[in-house]
Structures are given as C-alpha cells and as structure tokens.
Structure 1
Amino acid sequence: MMNKSLISVVTDGDRAMLRDIKYVIPYAKHRLCSWHLSRNAQANIGDPKFTAAFSKCMASWWTTEEFDVQWCSVVSEFNVEKHPWVIEKGNTRHLWAQAYLTGHFFSNICSTQRCESMNASLAIALKHKKTYLDIVHAIEDVISRMRMNKVKADYLSSQTKPF
C-alpha cells in the first residue's frame, strides 16, 4: 500500500480482532458490521420491531446528542434497559452508530457482507477444483464477476435517476 496505513476497518466484532486491530493498526477507525449487529439484535432480543428500531439507530445521520436521546427512547420503549447485550451495545455505540462515526472514511462500507460473499463464492468455486491452475482460474472468475458487477452498478448509478 506504498507505506500508507489503513484508516478504517469493518469487522464482525470478534474480540481477538478488536484487540489485534488496536495493537497492529492503532490509528485506524474501527466499525462493527451492521449486518452482524442486526442479526445479533434479533438473536438476543427476539423482537423484529426492536431490530428495526436498533437498525434505525445504527444508520441514522443524527448528532451524537440526538442519537443518545433516540437510543434511550428505544431501550425504554422495549424495556431492555437491563439486558446485557443492550448494555454492551450502548457502551460500544462509538463502534456502530453512524452518529459517532460521522467524519471517518469508510468508503460507504458498513458491513463485512461483501468480503463474506466473496469467501462464499470462492468456497463454492474451489470445492471441485483439483489443480492449482483450476484454483487460479476460479479466483479469476470470481474477481471478474465482481468487477463486472461494479461496472454495471457504476453505469446504473450514473445513468438512472435516484428514487
């Protein structure tokens, strides 16, 4: 990377990764994956309405003060003030709430989904490959498909009107 340090990183919240990121790239801004957070909200609280309210808190471009008011309102509305997962998320809001991440560059990425999607595509492609050459071709195919999808998305973005 021509001696340039990472300035941002998105992870699923793995504790070992959190620790290592602080050690290896201490100046990078860390963000938790929105997809994993939404999934964990549903798994821990079990109420789709809470998950929707949590996702709104996560993605809204509020000030930190507005976020804090909204977060307290959501936590109170669903009566989850004492839930350990909710307490932890409140304490780590600087890692997932857009209000606390404003001003940091993430290239519009808030999820590890693209990386996981690529891993899944490669796993499928590599499952039946026998030689190193087959593996190289499978990787090239996946990368080519990703590049084509980006070209299509760029074209649609520049040639269509927003909703």
Structure 2
Amino acid sequence: MKTKNGWKKSTIIIFLLGCIGSIFYYSWIHNPGLETETYLPLWIRKWSNEYYNLRTAVPFVVLGFLLEVWQRLSTVSGSVNRSPFRLKTLIIITLVVCLAEGGQFFIATRQPDFMDVFFGISGGILGCFVYHLIQKINLLFSKNA
C-alpha cells in the first residue's frame, strides 16, 4: 500500500512525463506554426505564431515548477534545501530543451534555434522561482495564522 507521499510523487511523475512528452511532441511536429493542430483553440495558435520563441518558455515554466515539486517530495523530511536554485533542476531542463531542439535536426521542415534553448532554460528557471515564491508566501501566511 502506498503512502500519501508516494501517491503524490507518482502523480507528479505522471505530470512530468506528460509535460516532457508534450514538449517533445510540439518541438518535433513537421509544421512549426501549429496551424495543423486544430484541436488547440485559435487564440493559442495565433499567439504562438506571433510570439514564436516565447511560446517555448511556457511549457518549461510548468516543467521547472513540477521538477521543484518532485524534488521537494523526494527529499528526506529532515533535509530541507532552502535554495531557490537547484542544479539538478537546471540540468534536467537543459537536457530536455537540448534534446527537443536537437531532434529538429532530423525533421526536414524544422531547424533548431539557439533562442529556443535560451527561452526554454529561462522558462524553467522562472518555474523554479515561482514554486519557491509560492512556498515563501505559504510560509508567511502559515506563520501569521
């Protein structure tokens, strides 16, 4: 029987795999403009075509946040890392964005873009900081309550 923390970790891992899978899917589709992805709302397709590099950062914000949640659940309860920046998270984010961009070498209609790597890593770091900001706010409110 799984503990409560075990269920949380399993759920976060499923969300992490889904997030990474969607990053690879959208990085490796043949049409980089998302016009063929008709299941997406029109406003998302228009926005993503207008802000081409910025759209790369969005899923990495989610990835960075989820990686921090996963690491928090994976740490031993006695050891608390108070640093808002974790090297393991940065390495995973960098690996995912480099694999996503590197895979575009094998797709005739796509080409890797260094700015996508920059925006992906930046988005991941932003997601880490958002997680830690939420933790600080929760701590502040729990002390005042």
Shared fold (TM-score greater than 0.5)?
Answer: no
TM-score grouping bracket, smaller chain normalisation: 0.3 to 0.5
Q: Which has the higher contact order (CA 8 A, sep 6+)?
A: 2
TM (norm. structure 2) is: 0.35
TM (norm. structure 1) is: 0.32
Larger helix percent: 2
Q: Which has the larger radius of gyration?
A: 1
